[in-house]
Chain A
Amino acid sequence: MITGAEIGTFLSRRRGIGRLHWSDWLTYGYLLMGVLIVLLPILWMILSSLKSPAALVENDPRALPYEQITIPAADGKSHTVFLWTRSDGVAVDVALVGVRGLNARVFEPGRPDTVFEVPRASLQRKETVAPRWDNYTEPTIGSTQSRTFNFLRYFWNSSFVTVVATLLTLIVNAMAGFALSKYRFAGRDAMALVIIATLLVPPTVILVPLFITVSKLGLLNSLWGVIIPAVATPTGVFLLRQYMLTIPDELLEAARMDAASEWKIFWRIILPLSLPALSVLAILSVMWRWNDFMWPLIVLTQSEVFTLQLGLSTFKGELNDNMHHLLAMTVLTLLPVTLVFVVLQKHITTGIANTGLK
């Protein structure tokens, strides 16, 4: 286990002894820049997802979600509250009734009957920090009539595609990697080379033939049409094959002497020992499948089978921009991938180190 002290030692590791060497400054500065470049857009998105639509339209540059204070009005509406700086320099709260030219008609809270006019320039919005959790709840657990975005349905579709496709990817690629690394047969290396060479074919080139194939198989508007075509990946085969090459043949021979079938050797010996590489591929596959947009967009046209990414794209309409919903739902969409990464990241680093893959 890594203790807090160890993390502290790691984070404060430096070249200079006792004080910071100039190269430490350079290193930390460089690393900090990288962190900011990666982190800032996400941070901005998370913070913005809690802002009101009005604040988003205004492009409010402040980090926290500010909202103007209101007080209820007699007719059921509400008055916005401003801070009025009087000519003597004292600031008092006033509620806005209406605007007339350069002046605003206001009253002091508690005395709604005495409406008076002040110059608009002397007013300043009185705001408070108020996160808009509605952005999250409205498209997800809000009433179904009022929305076209069916979060739970999309979430289920995306999860189904990701989980099933990742499992299939792992099994199929592991089998291919096993065969290409541990069996001797004519044309083995040529076959491995051909599989890896398909990495050079741009996905857009095979888009049309792939679409025709999927369509002829009747898989349009089916999640299986999204899952099956990309199950076998050259990256996965390559990654697993390279890793399995490092598993000693003697282990397999020992298992054969132990009367294990080849199938059993695969399940009981090869797969458990390939766990680091499998984790890497699992993370990659989850990210690919969860974030995939292009292929689902082509295969899926009915909203019942939309994945989250397709669902998100519906927010960006021709006439309306539901920016607040879009941001909130994007944050939700990011969460599962982040969690998967956090859980498997221990394996991904060792796996990458062991496969020599960068």
Chain B
Amino acid sequence: MASLDLRNVKKAYGATNVIHGIDLSIRHGEFIVFVGPSGCGKSTLLRMIAGLEVVSGGEIAIDGTAVNDVPAAERGLAMVFQSYALYPHMSVRQNLSFGLENLHMPKDEIARRVAEAARMLRIEPYLERRPGQLSGGQRQRVAIGRAVVREPRIFLFDEPLSNLDAKLRVQMRVEIGSLHQRLGNTMIYVTHDQVEAMTMADRIAVLRDGRLEQFGAPLDLYNRPASLFVAGFIGSPRMNFLEGTIEAVTPSAMTLRLKGGEAVTVSCAPASGAEAVGAAIKLGIRPEHVTLARSEAPDIRLAVTLTEQLGGDSYLHGTTPSGETFSVRLAGQTSVRRGDDIGLVLGTPTLRHVFNAATGVVYPPI
């Protein structure tokens, strides 16, 4: 177990900056997920923590000790690679014991650890096989086993599930989660899949273009996204965004005028208060927070272009009168059909998020 601190960590390849100064503090035993779109620098950041990439600026500290100049081998970390990176010419047993042999561990201790990891990950029947003779899920377990036997201070996972099919991915997600509970180690997990991030993480770090957008518990990110990007990235289906302007700011609420002319009240406001009237904003509302208008007056109308009936849920996709696309998620089954024009209520004011259209920053709740 170990804590990890990143202080203004930067990475540049020549003149190209890919990580622009990240500060992050990870406590003992936390399961942290780095999430972001491709090219956001999440894998680079992980590799810098692992010691596989040189740190261009700032400091990485494990248990309070700076490790910038400590080689990967001596940081006491273990990594599971996206491609598993199992040694193809070694048996599973040799794959597991290779790292321990390099540490000059006694033979019986190696055997004990390999046996324990194999039992825990249910790869005992395959110990004498080569990686090439294993299925994707088995290889994944061996790769995790190779990390487990090392008893590392921190586990690093680099998109470990992206090569598995959907069913196996869900299964392995659960297994990694339970592994974390059993071992209690600090784990850092990189993924581009926000579902993985939401289901596994104690805290999520959302990265974008080499910058940390937001760092917090999954539900904090869901309930209070700090920016337009986080709001759009976390949650599936994606949050709806409607363009508009600030019409009035009062101490208890703010009124927006949407592009289609509708007035919407929200319970958040810019810090500058009334000065911000007229500023361009984006109103964000999650599809699951939108309801069909029945007795009450609708906030907005929607021309339905597609309905998806999943049995338990129904999705409605359509366009608003102002031409913006909009999705609604309804519990249960619906009688709404393609071509219908329906009235929607945009949740309660507290479920509405407002972002500055220019900077993407959220307006804090009042």
Contact = CB atoms under 8 A, between A and B. Distances in A.
B87 A257 contact: no
Given A257-B77, A259-B103, A250 B83 contact: yes
Contacts of B146: 254, 258
A251 B72 contact: no
B130 to A, nearest CB: 12
Nearest to B156: A257
Interface residues of A, number: 17
B44 to A, nearest CB: 13
A256 B73 contact: yes
Nearest to B147: A257
A261 B99 CA distance: 11
A253 B52 contact: yes
Contact of A254 (B47, B71, B74, B79): B79
Contacts of A256: 51-52, 71-73
Interface in A230-271: 248, 250-251, 253-261, 264, 268-269
A278 to B, nearest CB: 13
Give the interface centre of A248, A251, A259, A260 by most chain B CB atoms within 10 Å.
A259
Contacts of A253: 47, 50, 52, 72, 79, 81, 85
A251 B87 contact: yes
A319 to B, nearest CB: 58
A154 B55 CA distance: 59
Nearest to A268: B98
Given A269-B87, A273-B88, A258 B98 contact: yes
A272 interface: yes
Contact of A273 (B78, B89, B102, B103): B89
Given A253-B52, A254-B79, A260 B85 contact: no
Contacts of A255: 87, 98
B55 to A, nearest CB: 16
Q: Do most interface residues of chain A lie in helix, strand or loop, or is the interface mixed?
A: helix
A248 B103 contact: no
A257 B72 contact: yes
Interface residues of B, number: 25
A135 to B, nearest CB: 46
Contacts of B85: 248, 250-251, 253-254
Given A254-B81, A256-B72, A256-B73, A272 B89 contact: yes
A125 B239 CA distance: 106
A260 B87 contact: no
Nearest to A247: B88
Nearest to A251: B85
B50 A248 contact: no
Nearest to A264: B102
A260 B74 CA distance: 10
A254 B81 CA distance: 8
Nearest to B76: A259
Interface string B91-116: 00000001100110000000000000
A258 B88 contact: no
Give the interface centre of A253, A258, A259 by most chain B CB atoms within 10 Å.
A258
Nearest to B103: A259
Contacts of A251: 85, 87
List of 5 A-B pairs having minimum Cβ-Cβ separation, nearest first:
A258-B99, A254-B85, A250-B85, A259-B73, A259-B102
27 contacts: A250-B82, A250-B85, A251-B85, A251-B87, A253-B50, A253-B52, A253-B79, A253-B85, A254-B81, A254-B86, A254-B87, A254-B146, A256-B51, A256-B52, A256-B73, A257-B50, A257-B72, A257-B77, A257-B79, A258-B146, A259-B73, A259-B74, A259-B102, A260-B98, A268-B98, A273-B88, A273-B89
Interface of A: 248, 250-251, 253-261, 264, 268-269, 272-273
